[in-house]
Structure 1
Amino acid sequence: MASGALPVVWVIVLAVRRGLRRRRAAGVGGAEPPPPPHGGRPGLSGRRRLVKAVFDRLVAAAALVVLAPLLAAVAVAVRASGPGPALSRQRRVGRDGAEFTILRFRTTHRRAEARRVELTGDARGELFRVRRDPRVTPLGALLRRYSIDELPQLVNVLRGDMSLVGPRPPLPEEVARHGDGVRGRPALRPGMTGLWQVSGRPDLSWEESVRLDLRYVENWSLTLDLRILWRTWAAVARGAGAY
């Protein structure tokens, strides 16, 4: 399987190198290029969508193999930290409005969702994240700080529910409440990371995260994905905005 994947990887590498040369020649240096001069529905089709899908699955499969010992150790530690499963599951909205189950390592005590109502007054906007959340276990706080709790989403990428980079995967109630304001976001699969992740993480408002999602969808390129992945490592290492 590894030898069969080499030609595909080499084609992707060549495409990325050509893209970097074109972007340097055009003077584009940032991770957020200017918006395109045309309107219409943002998204990908044909070869570009295939390249992104192949890249996502190859990287996700390789990462799962390399990280298998870490994933197993974290799963055992989560189970030992208190009652409850190692993984938590939550419904999110993906491409074209289809719902899917997103996977994460469990970082909260049991019955955490029941306590969410009590904390609503401390939540900011639609992105329900609370600093010093009393529902989070000590181990869960560590996993969240370095985004280790999100590693099981590599399985979502391998299944085709998500991409490595893409729009933020919204909750169904967020889409129902702001459907008119998120038009264009479903044109790509949601990502494990994205412009929203490297530009403030949960410190962004709902409107700011939607704006970044639309900007990403309208300006997608494999080079942009690689730059966002690179910036994600730096943000995760600093624990910037993670709680």
Structure 2
Amino acid sequence: MKHRELIRHNVPDFGLLYRLVDVSIVALVLYLSLVLYTPEISNNYYIPGALGMIGFLLSAESCHLYRSWRTSTFREHATATLLPWVLTVFILMTAGYFSKTSNDFSRVVIGSWFVFTPCALIVWRFALLQLIRLLYRRGYCTQKAAIIGVTENGIALAEELNTRADSGIILEGFYDERDCYRIPDKLNAPICGSVLDALEKARQGELKHIYIAMPLHARGRITKFLENFSDTTANTYLIPDFFNYNLLYSRWGHVGGIQILSVFDTPFNGLTAWAKRIEDIILATLFLILCSPVLIAIAIGVKLSSPGPVLFKQDRYGLDGKKIKVWKFRSMSTTDNGEVIKQATKNDFRVTRFGAFLRRTSLDELPQFINVLQGTMSIVGPRPHAVAHNEEYRTIVERYMLRHKVKPGITGWAQINGYRGETDTISKMEKRVEYDLAYIQRWSLSMDLKIICMTTVRMFSDKMAY
């Protein structure tokens, strides 16, 4: 027996309706764009229309757009709707370029089609969501749920279900077979009885969803509960305690026919890696062009302030822990790059007067935009440390090397949260690593832009840089 796709994405009850409405909207927006722009409809538009419908359906299927969004936010659903259309537009533009037929179509018509189709797709989903939420609030189509096991994951799940009241899933409470004194006092849902009580309610059809939130080591009890609930028609789910393993960035995958869950992974794979790289190239290029006079002025200032090279290159760890050369304007009278490197401290005698200004304002980091164009760094990411410091802290700070699952950055989530400059205590480095890993877990393009804006604001007011 093959195991491939034993675990699938949940699909909605009206998946066929979603698909039919989506392709109808793709065709309808193209038709309206034609009618409003020209009274005569050319047969030439049948081909891009058909390609658009087919391309969107295929892209939507590959992006799992038609899975169940019952417990997801509308923002998540809207983003997932936009992505397949972006892929479809890319396919159509590529096809038009290589077939040399792009000049056969009106740019106004095609442009309107490209812009208003995702708007229409998102609007109809929003309208449907509001209708569904209205039905839920009035008690229609709601389903009762129960959680088996008062565990950390069970309590977290209860909180999620309680905050997503518009999902139509009403949490009745916990069911646990342990004695009362072994159960925490403060819970976000009531204790409704034993597991046998939940089993009886499920048999009577009173419970539609059963969530088994037991620790992975309780395999025997999990098997027993699954056998019991297989005698009911309730939807039964396992909530494994993955969070006990401190997941960095996890996703489902498979090796051959065996499905796997990544524990320590990177968010930058496939399309996200391209999005991050394009962001870096565009912003780094714009910055270097606009700030070239500033770069030249700083270079002259470094040269006149003290003897030595203008640029300082130091070995640091980059993506996957590989050594890279990180560029900076020289701010010290020394250029340490050996096995023992002392961090800059307050009133450090090695820092030149002009270098102190550069370090205080972060202007010494500007040459790292060249690293960004080279591809060894990103604008946003965990700050790279000297190799000597890496080797020291990797044995002291838990999960330290996981910072290198992404490219190092000129600025990062830790820096804008106050963990910049000298890390003279282990606790400071632990907090920096904590923020770095949180960035990897929560990464998005909007988060990158937020960090860049906050860094710009704080450049001249950070007292931790010296």
Post-superposition offset of 1:113: 3.5
Counterpart CA distance in 2 for 1:36 and 1:210 is 12
1:22 corresponds to which of 48, 67, 75: 75
For residue 30 of structure 1, what is the aligned residue in structure 2? none
Residue 298 of structure 2: which of 46, 58, 74 is its match?
74
Residue 344 of structure 2: aligned partner? 129
**Residue 421 of structure 2, aligned match among 202, 206, 219:** 202
Larger RCO of the pair (alpha carbons < 8 Å, separation 6+) = 1
State the 1:219 CA deviation. Answer: 1.2
After superposition, what is the alpha-carbon deviation per residue over 1:153-197, rounded to whole angstroms, capped at 9, x for unaligned? 000001001000001212222332333632421111000000121
Query: Which of 173, 183, 195 lines up with 2:388 in the alignment?
Result: 173
CA distance in 2, matches of 1:175, 1:78: 28
Q: Give secondary structure in 2 for the equivalent of 1:225.
A: helix
Q: CA contact under 8 A between 1:42 and 1:218: conserved in structure 2?
A: no
1:92 aligns with 2:316: yes
2: CA distance, partners of 1:83 / 1:175: 29
How large is the RMSD of aligned CA atoms in angstroms?
Answer: 2.6
Are residue 223 (structure 1) and residue 446 (structure 2) matched?
yes
SS class of match (1:164) = strand
Q: TM-score, normalised by structure 2?
A: 0.41
For the pair 1:185 / 2:425, whether they are aligned, the reply is: no
Point out the more displaced range, 94-103 or 178-187: 178-187
| 1:91-126, Cα deviation, whole Å (9 max, x unpaired) | 0100011111111111111x3549xx8x96xxxxxx
Aligned 8 A contact 2:249 2:440 in 1 = no
**1:143–1:149 contact (8 Å) kept in structure 2:** yes
Q: Kindly tell me: are residues 240 and 22 of structure 1, through their superposed partners in 2, closer, same or farther at Cα, counting changes over 3 Å?
A: farther
1:160 aligns with 2:405: no
Q: Secondary structure at the match of 1:197?
A: helix
**What is the aligned length?**
204
Distance 2:311 2:335 in 1: 14
Opposite residue 409 of structure 2, the aligned amino acid is G
For the 8 Å contact 1:184–1:217, the answer to whether it is kept is no
Larger Cα Rg: Structure 1 or Structure 2?
A: 2
Task: Tell whether the 8 Å contact from 1:92 to 1:170 is kept in structure 2 after alignment.
Answer: yes
1:75 Cα offset (Å): 0.5
98 and 203 in structure 1: CA distance in 2 versus 1, 3 angstrom threshold: closer
1:235 equivalent in alignment to 2:288: no
Q: Is the 8 A contact 1:42 1:217 kept in 2?
A: no
Q: Which has the higher helix share?
A: 1
Q: Quote the offset at 1:37 in angstroms.
A: 9.4
Q: Distance in 2 between matches of 1:224 and 1:81?
A: 38
Normalised TM-score (structure 1): 0.76
1:214 and 2:437 are equivalent in the alignment: yes
Equivalent pair of 1:112/1:135 in contact (CA under 8 Å): no
Find the aligned partners of 1:50 and 1:218 in 2 and give their Cα distance: 18
Checking the alignment, whether the CA contact within 8 Å between 1:195 and 1:212 is kept in structure 2 is: yes
**Equivalent residue runs for 1:4-153 within 5 Å:** 22=75, 40-43=263-266, 44-109=268-333, 111=334, 113=336, 128-153=343-368
Percent of aligned pairs sharing the same letter: 36
Amino acid aligned to 1:224: M
Say if 1:203 and 1:100 are closer, same or farther in 2 by CA, change over 3 A.
closer
Q: Which runs of 5+ in 1 are unaligned?
A: 1-20, 28-34, 121-127
Q: Tell me: CA distance 1:81–1:203, structure 2 relative to 1, closer, same or farther (3 Å).
A: closer
- Change in 2 beyond 3 A, CA 1:176/1:37: closer
Q: Structure 2: how far apart are the matches of 1:37 and 1:73?
A: 42
Q: Shift of the alpha carbon at 1:36?
A: 8.0
Runs (4+) of structure 1 exceeding 6 A deviation are none
* Letter aligned with residue 241 of structure 1: M
Structure 1 Cα separation of the partners of residues 328 and 367 of structure 2: 5
